Amino acid sequence: QVQLVESGGGLVQAGGSLRLSCAASGSIFRFNTMAWYRQAPGKERELVASISTGGRTNYADSVKGRFTISRDNAKITVYLQMNSLKPEDTAVYYCNLLQSANQYWGQGTQVTVSS
């Protein structure tokens, strides 16, 4: 079993920054991909950014240049540094771990950006 615990959400003004963290524990394989997804009210969940064990990253076009995903493999923790936040970034952000075709999700953390 795998557990993902997120932290770091909150309320911030437009143009501000937040840093999300997600710590994984349990039966974690050596090779995996960790990611952040988000879901705004009335919208589908979407991929924000992902990072492999080897450090390969992928970003949604809407966050390129503003968000940075990183990970500490020793701590099995993934981070999302969010800068220049916009009201449209408001959503529940979910941590995701993919290994051997199995997906695991965190409980979600609310990010609210006021205009």
How far is the C-alpha of 62 from the C-alpha of 113, rounded, in Å? 15
- Rounded Cα distance between 22 and 34, Å, is 9
The tens digit of pLDDT for each residue in 42-80 reads 999 999 999 999 999 999 999 999 999 999 999 999 999
d(CA 23, CA 70): 12
Tell me the pLDDT tens digit for each residue of 16-46.
999 999 999 999 998 999 999 999 999 999 9
Give the CA radius of gyration of the chain.
Answer: 13
